[in-house]
Amino acid sequence: MEAFQNDSRVPQTCPNPVFVIGSHRSGTTVLAVALARHPDFWTSDETLFMPALFGGGRVEGEIERWTSRPRGSWLRRQNVSREEFLSYLGMGLNALFTNRSEGKRWIDHTPHHVLMAEVLAAMFPGAFFLHLLRDGRRVVHSMIHFSDKLAEDQREEMKAGGFFPAWVTNFKVACQTWQERTAAGLVFCEKYPERALNVRLEELAQNPGQAFGDVLNFLQARPSDAPGKYFHRHRFNSSFSTSVIVGDMAAEEPPDPWESWTDEQKALFNQIAGRTMSCLESTASLQATA
Amino acid sequence: MPSSQKFFPQIELCADPIFVIGSDRSGTTILVRSLSQHSVLWSSAETDYLFHLFGEGRASKAYRWAIKRPSGNWLKKENVSKPEFLEALGIGINCLFTSRSRGKRWMDHTPGYTMMVDILADMFPGAYFLHMLRDGRRVVHSMINIMNTFKPDARQRMIDEGYVPGYVDFGTACRRWSLFVEKALDFELSHPDRVKTIRNEEITEDPERSFREIFDFIKVPYEKEPDEFFRHNRISSSFAKPSADPSVREKLDPWQDWDAEQKRTFVELAGPTLVRSGFAQEEDLVLSDYEQLVLRVKEVASATLPENARFAVVNNGDLQLLKVGSRRGRSLPQNQEGEYSGGDPADTEEAQASVQLAKTQGTDYILFPSTAYWWFEHYPGFKQYLESRYSRLEIPSEDCIIFDLGNSSPHTRVDVPVANG
């Protein structure tokens, strides 16, 4: 007889999904949506449950605890490594994503994931990561104007649900958020050069065709000009509009948010995010502060 | 080049795994080890990690939080229900187990999973649950003696590293047993086709019959090896090796050996569960008149005597009357070593001498529970002797009389809250 009913529902999983990571307000959504114009890719909304379940060092801490407890554990007895355990943990979620993508290569674009990219890399051992980089001054400026586009009821609903980020109302937190996430993404890309690519939003905006060609090449996807064309024509989720704007994305952005900041804001930004900005080689106007 | 094929070249999923649940110390390990003797079943050590990752409401909370986001919500947009979400979490875990069971049907036996059994039911939609149920009095007795299962060096390491289970505390043990059993019984009521309760006492008495019922329930053919294994093995018992210390020997009926305070604690915290699970009737759990008196006397002593006071009690050798918080009690009459002398005074002179001896040995107070009032009748002049020399504490209780041996002024008034008898 069969030992167990070998389940016909053994799930189909995507071997090489894509995670778009980065700071909030960096353009992660528009990048993912543009990529999904490629016939082989698929994306949807942001997922939030993985940080809640596995982020904040929780799963790593648990693995450490299980492997070090004096009475032994199932994982140790069965010789299950951290990498193997996490890859199994990711498999079911991969199956859920793949079920919805209907066999296409799925893209997740939850910004929070930048802080748990190491865990995700182990949970999804075939995944690629695109770390979206954007000038920190523009990101911070976008963050503190995030609620401008929201209707009052939307704002209240977000607050009531605990979804209203602190960086909307606190300049310092906005600077810290960009710095923390950008630094985390840069470190991750350096550690996993074959799997993670830094992508500059400004370069995508300047020459979408070329930049998306490079991204697709990195992702080992077949060439397509659909993502670049789409990106060129759309801007998503902007803090400065109430809806999707068709047009030249770069032209729609405020010319230089730095000029509108107070000296105190400039000093605070420099103190918190200046070093990370230097890493991005975008330091020119930082010197303008008193 | 990243690879997704490193760990699962050939993925298999067991559609109908088995979770053995139940309170700690109920026999979950011996049951699963016995079942593992069956040719198509497999198990290993306890896992625990599902509880820490998804238990205590974590999985539900993550789902609830993610799906209530007003906009940009993947779960809502993709119409993912909570059961589907949980099943997705379970698929990878199932495949991990299946990768180790090598084609056999896997079983888990982590007692803590009892408290997340409803989540497991969704994570593993084809799973069966075997609930091992054991008389809570024996379970509690086993829990508070758990450290006996370890060798001295291992025991010390557990103490040093903070791995001593909380249930070595009597009250915690009672609460835990009740909580686990209530959860499992409720789950069985709502999922009768997926849960079967097995009574430790019944499987011990007739293993073959119980295993036949289990195999029938989990839909595998009968094999004799599991019940043979069960008959001849005893695993993880708190009393595996007979101890020289009678206080840590396994009690066939620990209830008879518990003191009144332990019984009251058990009845308060686990009594309803014991009745619900059919191990006792309500009247079985009523404390005797004497036990109720002991509890009232201890309450009076606790409220009346100062912390760290030394007192002697006419207790007929009953040790439970000596434990009143931080106060140090001794039996009366006592011998030169301060131990219970083993009998009553022969006459008034001996009774008086016993009080004098207690006083010279540092006793501050003498307590007479109502069961010892006969001393005042039986030994002529004894009561007058006490009242003429020592102050009697005035307490609003007829359950005991207390004399202060260190205070010659009579009748110090002390108001004492006393429980109704």
- A175-205: pLDDT as tens digits: 999 999 999 999 999 999 999 999 999 899 8
Q: Is the pLDDT of residue B341 over 60?
A: yes
What is the pLDDT at residue A149? Answer: 74
Q: What is the ipTM of this complex?
A: 0.87
CB-based contact A4 B15, cutoff 8 Å: yes
What is the pLDDT at residue A103? Answer: 84
Q: Give me the mean pLDDT over the A50-72 stretch.
A: 84
Lowest mean pLDDT among B61-65, B124-128, B173-177, B187-191: B61-65
Residue A13 lies in a domain: no
Q: Could you give the CA distance from residue B278 to residue B272 in angstroms, rounded to a whole number?
A: 10
- pLDDT band of A237, cuts 50, 70, 90: low
Whole-number average pLDDT of chain B: 88
How many structural domains compose chain A? 1
CB-based contact A162 B100, cutoff 8 Å: no
What is the pLDDT at residue B271? Answer: 97
Q: Could you give the CA distance from residue B412 to residue B395 in angstroms, rounded to a whole number?
A: 9
Residue A49 lies in a domain: yes
Q: Could you give the CA distance from residue B323 to residue A286 in angstroms, rounded to a whole number?
A: 74
Give the three-class secondary structure for B223: coil
Q: Is the pLDDT of residue B69 over 70?
A: yes
- B256-313: pLDDT as tens digits: 889 999 999 999 999 999 999 999 999 999 999 999 999 999 999 999 999 989 999 9
**Spatial contact of B119 and A114, defined as CB atoms under 8 Å apart:** no
- Give B366's contacts (C-beta < 8 A, 6+ positions apart): B311, B312, B313, B314, B332, B355, B358, B386, B390, B402, B403, B405
Residue A174 lies in a domain: yes
What is the pLDDT at residue B202? Answer: 95
In terms of average pLDDT, the best of A248-252, B101-105, B147-151, B221-225 is: B221-225
Give the three-class secondary structure for B327: strand
Percent of chain A whose predicted confidence (pLDDT) is above 90: 58
CATH number of the CATH domain containing A169: 3.40.50.300
What is the pLDDT at residue A281? Answer: 63
CATH 3.40.50.11540 for domain B18-246: no
What is the pLDDT at residue B163? Answer: 82
Please give the C-alpha separations between residue A22 and each of A56, A91, A195, in angstroms, as whole numbers.
16, 23, 15
Q: Is the pLDDT of residue B183 over 70?
A: yes
CB-based contact A83 B2, cutoff 8 Å: no
Q: Which of B74, B81, B87, B163 to mutate to test the interface with A (most CBs of A within 10 A)?
A: B74
Q: Could you give the CA distance from residue B90 to residue B125 in angstroms, rounded to a whole number?
A: 9
pTM for the structure as a whole? 0.84
Q: Is the pLDDT of residue A148 over 90?
A: no
Which contiguous run of DSSP H or E holds residue B313? strand B310-314
For B46, the closest chain A residue by CA position comes to A74
What is the pLDDT at residue B33? Answer: 96
Q: Is the pLDDT of residue B209 over 70?
A: yes
Residue A55 structure tokens: 């982020």
What is the pLDDT at residue A194? Answer: 96
**Closest chain B C-alpha to A267 CA, distance in angstroms:** 34
Q: Give me the mean pLDDT over the B137-154 stretch.
A: 90
* Contacting B residues, span 46-105, partner chain A, CB-CB under 8 Å: 46-49, 52-54, 58-59, 61-63, 65-66, 68-78, 80, 84-85, 87-93, 95-96, 98-100, 103-105
Range of the domain at A194: 18-288
Residue A6 lies in a domain: no
- B351-377: pLDDT as tens digits: 999 999 999 888 999 999 999 999 999
Q: Is the pLDDT of residue A158 over 70?
A: yes
- B6-36: pLDDT as tens digits: 544 567 889 999 999 999 999 999 999 999 9
End-to-end CA distance of chain A: 81
Q: Is the pLDDT of residue A275 over 60?
A: yes
Q: Is the pLDDT of residue B169 over 60?
A: yes
Lowest mean pLDDT among A66-75, A83-92, B214-223, B342-351: A66-75
Q: Could you tell me if B13 lies within 8 Å of chain A, comparing CB atoms?
A: yes
